[in-house]
């Protein structure tokens, strides 16, 4: 008998069909029809054992809740899905908070480095010699009695020399048209 399914003839005492595999009622289950109780002919003895509690317990392997293996698998899948859903939201929150915490730690380290640099700059600006050197360099200050000299060097950038442009009347009409299409001024 399949796990968790009761035969319509349960409780009736009668002869069960024997299949070629030796299992009772296998042909009836395969065809989808219920096993029918046959009328006993006189002189023949029944080979079926009467159903008792022990026989029923041996025939049924469905467990404590009398569920078939398919139903047990469905219940197990439902429980696993429910657990996964109940864990997923807090887990996602935890992971996002961990990422945010890492970002804040990096930001804190960056700010601490910046504070250290600013404190160093503050110490430098407390030194009058350093302030004077910066004033001379950046602002061009000089002490009274000193003569400042400013040396300007020619521009040494490697740019191409600029070509002289022809006058508006010296350019042919087709070149003017092409330059207007390209957006160049003539």
| Tens digit of each residue's pLDDT (9 = 90 or more) over 172-184 | 888 888 888 888 7
pLDDT at residue 56 is higher than 70: no
Per residue in 111-170, pLDDT tens?
A: 999 999 999 999 999 999 999 999 888 888 898 999 888 888 888 777 756 666 656 668
Beta bridge partners of 24: 18
- pTM, entire model: 0.36
Range among 52-66, 95-109, 127-141, 154-168 rated most confident: 95-109
15-19, 69-73, 151-155, 158-162: least confidently modelled range: 15-19
Q: Supply the pLDDT for residue 157.
A: 74
Residue 36 scores a pLDDT above 60: no
Burial class (CB in 10 A: 0-12, 13-18, 19+), 35: buried
Identify any residues that bridge with 18 across adjacent strands, giving them in sequence order: 24
In the Cβ-directed half-sphere of 97, how many Cα atoms lie within 13 Å? Answer: 6
In this predicted structure, what is the pLDDT of residue 18? 45
Highest mean pLDDT among 6-15, 77-86, 146-155: 77-86
- pLDDT on residue 173: 85
Which of 66, 73, 77, 78 has its CA nearest to residue 2? 66
- pLDDT at residue 180, as a whole number: 86
């Amino acid at each position: 008998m399949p796990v968790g399914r009761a035969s319509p003839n349960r409780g009736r005492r009668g002869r069960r069909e024997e299949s070629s595999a030796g299992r009772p009622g296998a042909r009836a289950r395969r065809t989808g029809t219920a096993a029918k109780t046959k009328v006993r002919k006189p002189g023949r003895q029944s080979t079926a054992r009467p159903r008792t509690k022990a026989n029923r317990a041996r025939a049924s392997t469905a467990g404590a809740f009398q569920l078939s293996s398919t139903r047990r698998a469905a219940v197990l899948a439902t429980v696993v899905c429910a657990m996964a859903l109940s864990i997923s939201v807090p887990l996602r929150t935890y992971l996002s908070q961990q990422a945010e915490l890492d970002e804040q730690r990096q930001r804190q380290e960056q700010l601490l480095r910046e504070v250290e640099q600013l404190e160093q700059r503050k110490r430098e600006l407390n030194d009058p010699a350093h302030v004077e050197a910066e004033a001379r360099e950046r602002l061009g200050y000089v002490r009274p009695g000193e003569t400042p000299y400013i040396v300007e060097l020619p521009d040494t950038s490697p740019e191409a020399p600029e070509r002289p442009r022809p006058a508006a009347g010296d350019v042919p009409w087709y070149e003017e048209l092409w330059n207007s299409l390209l957006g160049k001024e003539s």
